């Protein structure tokens, strides 16, 4: 029997206990910071030579030359051909659905013309070159390759470069197959902070990119933070989380399994259920107790539920929604009768899974929306990874002579108010000419 915490929003110390439960600090310590800073410095200074040294040291694998760091596209194609047919079919279906959803996200430019002929607008362009970091070893997930790569290609990124470490020279065939179907352009068998540094600054062999995305361990995350500015980065993710809001009408075994599916990621993962049906909470607790011993990853699930899980009794639906907005969860299941009537009241969530049939796991793999989502309450200010993360905007301004004459008067007053007389005179030149 697991010791998942039971809370009630009516408890006097509910806010404090909830805050304690949600608390997460991802700060890397000084030792990690120092190691990463050293690695970046070395890769910037010595390029391929440093990359080869670190690969030999951390991945225990010595390429004969820097050119051997590259995994040719034919190698990815071979992996694709060699995996079992059902996995190939599943990757293909998932890729198609992720691509179809991503197409809806693609931004377009726009412009409008004012009465005096002045044109204002926004031009949208893809990033030129993107680096995709993929963890090696046991944490290598083909689904993650699809989710990071496909939106970039839909955006129109012309070169997508994958970095995947091969600890002890070992490759993950499913990851290579996913890279093949997702349209990865070039792949390199490099990892860790050295891969991030190589992608950010370029080496003789590794092309420098404009943005780096993808999950990684604390060294990778610290390196991404350090090179931010030189290149763009995606969010640095915390542990994965789910919040299930249930009206009590869903099979408690299903809900227990949804909580498990989050908890099985790792011991820090967070699974919380909120309901206003106290008896239902008891039934889910019973399902947890009955099903947990049958789970392959029961030790991890048990540890995660004990440390960071909770069953929360709310007063009513409104109260449950307030808890959801406070938590701003990465994954939110609205396992209720009429989810569409309440979804508009959810102010913060990475992805919202509506109705009893929408298991969060479907979204992890193949529903279509991205599984790279804001964690640790960052859904308050950030969004799922999407095509828009691989596009950028340029403002467009084309003043007619009449338009510039009008605008120059306003600009001149404000510029002089700020003490910027070159700004003022630059504007005034155009105004004088037009009038």
Q: Which residues are catalytic?
A: 330-331
In our burial notation (b when 16+ CB lie closer than 10 A, e otherwise), range 220-240 reads bbbbbbbbeeebbbbbbbbbb
133 labeled part of a ligand binding site: yes
Q: Any idea of the CA torsion for 321, 326, 331, 335, to the nearest 10 degrees? A: -20
Report the alpha-carbon distance of residue 367 to residue 360 in Å, rounded: 9
The least CB distance from residue 52 to its own copies, in Å, is 25
**Angle at the Cα of 281 from the Cα atoms of 276 and 282, rounded to 5 degrees:** 140
Residue 54 exposure: Cα atoms within 13 Å on the Cβ side: 27
The least CB distance from residue 282 to its own copies, in Å, is 20
Rounded to the nearest 10 degrees, the angle between the axes of helix 317-327 and helix 14-22 is: 40
Residue pair 148/371 in contact by the 8 Å Cβ criterion? no
Dihedrals phi, psi of 433, to nearest 5 degrees = -65, -40
371 labeled part of a ligand binding site: no
Closest CA to 192 of 55, 284, 344, 334: 55
**In whole angstroms, how large is the CA radius of gyration of the chain?**
26
**47 versus 374: smaller Cβ distance to its own copies:** 374
348 labeled part of a ligand binding site: no
The least CB distance from residue 201 to its own copies, in Å, is 12
Which tokens hold the place of 235? 């969010």
The least CB distance from residue 51 to its own copies, in Å, is 22
**52 versus 300: smaller Cβ distance to its own copies:** 300
- In a 3-state reduction of DSSP, which class is residue 284? helix
Quickly list DSSP for 82-100: HS-HHHHHHHHHHHHHHHH
217 labeled part of a ligand binding site: yes
**313 versus 349: smaller Cβ distance to its own copies:** 349
**231 versus 310: smaller Cβ distance to its own copies:** 231
Q: What is the DSSP letter of 265?
A: S
- In a 3-state reduction of DSSP, which class is residue 127? coil
| Class of residue 96 by CB neighbours under 10 A (exposed 0-12, middle 13-18, buried 19+) | middle
The least CB distance from residue 62 to its own copies, in Å, is 29
Report the alpha-carbon distance of residue 76 to residue 129 in Å, rounded: 19
The least CB distance from residue 8 to its own copies, in Å, is 25
Q: Which residue numbers belong to the known binding site for NAD(+)?
A: 133, 194, 217
Q: Which residue numbers belong to the known binding site for Zn(2+)?
A: 262, 265, 364, 423
């Amino acid at each position: 029997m697991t010791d998942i915490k039971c809370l009630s929003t009516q408890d006097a110390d509910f806010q404090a206990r909830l805050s304690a439960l949600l608390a997460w600090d991802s700060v890397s310590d000084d030792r990690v910071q120092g190691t990463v800073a050293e690695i970046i410095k070395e890769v910037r200074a010595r390029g391929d030579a440093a990359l080869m040294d670190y690969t030999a040291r951390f991945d225990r694998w010595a390429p004969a030359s820097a050119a051997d760091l590259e995994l040719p596209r034919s190698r990815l194609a071979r992996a694709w051909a060699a995996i079992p047919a059902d996995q190939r079919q599943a990757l293909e279906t998932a890729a198609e659905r992720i691509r179809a959803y991503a197409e809806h996200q693609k931004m377009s430019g726009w412009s409008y013309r004012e009465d005096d002929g002045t044109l204002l607008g926004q031009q949208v362009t893809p990033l030129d070159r993107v680096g995709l970091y993929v963890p090696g070893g046991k944490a290598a997930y083909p689904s993650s390759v699809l989710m990071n790569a496909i939106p970039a290609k839909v955006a129109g990124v012309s070169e997508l470069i994958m970095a995947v470490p091969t600890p002890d020279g070992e490759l993950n065939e499913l990851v290579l197959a996913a890279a093949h179907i997702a349209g990865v352009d070039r792949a390199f068998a490099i990892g860790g902070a050295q891969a991030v540094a190589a992608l950010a600054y370029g080496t003789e062999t590794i092309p420098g990119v404009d943005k780096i995305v993808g999950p990684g361990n604390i060294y990778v995350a610290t390196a991404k933070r350090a090179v931010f500015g030189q290149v763009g980065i995606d969010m640095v993710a915390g542990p994965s989380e789910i919040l299930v809001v249930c009206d009590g009408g869903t099979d408690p075994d299903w809900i227990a399994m949804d909580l498990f599916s989050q908890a099985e990621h790792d011991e820090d993962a967070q699974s919380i259920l909120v309901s206003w049906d106290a008896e239902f909470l008891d039934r889910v607790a019973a399902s947890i107790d009955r099903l947990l011993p049958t789970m392959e990853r029961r030790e991890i699930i048990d540890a995660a539920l004990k440390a960071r899980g909770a069953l929360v009794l709310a007063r009513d639906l409104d109260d449950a929604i307030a808890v959801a907005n406070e938590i701003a969860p990465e994954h939110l299941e609205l396992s209720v009768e009429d989810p569409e009537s309440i979804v508009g009241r959810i102010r913060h969530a990475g992805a919202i899974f509506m109705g009893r049939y929408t298991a969060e796991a479907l979204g992890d793999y193949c529903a279509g929306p991205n599984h790279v989502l804001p964690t640790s309450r960052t859904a308050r200010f950030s969004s799922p990874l999407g095509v828009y993360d691989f596009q950028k905007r340029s403002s467009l301004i084309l003043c007619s002579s009449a338009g510039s004459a009008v605008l120059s008067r306003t600009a001149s007053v404000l510029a002089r108010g700020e003490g910027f007389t070159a700004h003022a005179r630059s504007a005034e030149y155009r105004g004088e000419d037009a009038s």
